[in-house]
Amino acid sequence: MEKKNIDWGNIGFGYVQTDYRYVSTYKDGAWDEGGLTTDANIVMNECACVLQYSQSCFEGMKAYTTEDGRIVCFRPDLNAARMVESAERLKMPAFPEEKFLEAIKQTVKANAAWVPPYGSGASLYLRPFMFGWDSIIGVKPANVYQFRVFATPVGPYFKGGVKPLTVRISDFDRAAPRGTGHVKAGLNYAMSLYAIVDAHEKGYDENIYLDSGSRTYIEETGGANVIFIKGNTLVTPKSSTILPSITRRSIVHVAKEYLGMEVEERDVALSEIDQFEECGLCGTAAVISPVGTIDDHGRLIHYAGFGPKIQKLYDTLTGIQMGRIEAPEGWIMEIE
């Protein structure tokens, strides 16, 4: 299979329309068979529930080419499970986890020419998403839904590649106690747009949000969880209002089982972040992006960027994802 003619090493994190996407529709209480289509457009009524009341959720995952030329996905079962939880919180029907994995396989296989080659630094980003489709005017859930998966080749999420980031402590909040911060609802991202545009205008790469209840503890950024390093210990915020990042859960395992580090998942106070030596943002899109500086209203805290532990975690995680290092049982799904 011939690859697309793309300068893989120089692509950013943008949308490129690929050849195939997967579509399944839920109607009369059941999901249909589902399958691939070449049509990237969606036509819906002006009163569709997603347009009026933002009833949508999504996932983000990647397909990689391994060192020995296989195409694989990383822990897709966890994306399938998280999407069920998002759907439940938004009163949407669950998309069955087995069908989710099948949809991913079909989408990646059909777009194999778009999977960046090993060593290019790029990967094929997969975006499963689901939305309320029929016309709803009173505030209630839709009756008809669509589940889709599209694919787009991507490079690094942050401009400038792996240059250490400058992030600020945000004055805006991301998630309310007992709200939707722990699920991947589109509405969580709509409300972050004002804050991210404002951050970029002021020269920051991202916002770090605090817990909105007390504004005392570190939560996460708009699109990634946060990790800190002190000596041989990895410290990461534990909160019921952050997204349970699959990357962060994997890093915790890697730190303990591969690198012999101590791990603390706990409340991380804003007042203690100057005690840490290294800091990184972690997620599917962010992978592990080192933080150089956190600006807390003029209090500047500097970190080592790609310090020794963040570098080791990055090398081990990406080594597992790209087949250079043996993965724990069940972490890698091969696309035949």
Catalytic residues, by residue number, are 184
Residues 299 and 21: their CA atoms lie apart, in Å, by 46
CB of 19 to ligand COI, least distance (A): 21
Residue 243 binds which one of ligand PLP, ligand COI, none, with CB within 5 to 8 A depending on kind?
ligand PLP
CB of 283 to ligand COI, least distance (A): 4
β pairing state of 71-74 and 61-65: antiparallel
Considering the rule CB under 6 A, would residue 285 count as an interface residue with ligand COI? yes
**Total chain residues near ligand COI (CB under 6 A):** 5
**Three-class DSSP labels, 65-124:** ECCCCCEEEECHHHHHHHHHHHHHHCCCCCCCHHHHHHHHHHHHHHCHHHCCCCCCCCEE
Are the C-beta atoms of residues 292 and 166 closer than 8 Å to each other?
Answer: yes
Phi/psi at 96 (5° precision): -55, 135
Considering the rule CB under 6 A, would residue 180 count as an interface residue with ligand COI? no
Considering the rule CB under 6 A, would residue 188 count as an interface residue with ligand COI? no
Radius of gyration of the chain (CA): 20
Residue 18 binds which one of ligand PLP, ligand COI, none, with CB within 5 to 8 A depending on kind?
none
Considering the rule CB under 6 A, would residue 155 count as an interface residue with ligand COI? no
Considering the rule CB under 6 A, would residue 292 count as an interface residue with ligand COI? no
Are the C-beta atoms of residues 249 and 243 closer than 8 Å to each other?
Answer: no
Considering the rule CB under 6 A, would residue 283 count as an interface residue with ligand COI? yes
Interface residues with ligand PLP (CB under 6 A) are 60, 220, 223-225, 243, 245-248, 283-284
211-230 binders of ligand COI (CB under 6 A): 223
Selected from 23, 31, 36, 60, the binder of ligand COI by CB under 6 A is 60
- Give buried/exposed letters for 257-270 (b at 16+ CB in 10 A, else e): ebeebebeeeebeb
Segment contacting ligand COI (CB under 6 A): 137-145, 148-156, 168-176, 282-290? Answer: 282-290
Which residues of this chain interact with ligand COI, rule CB under 6 A?
Answer: 60, 223, 283-285
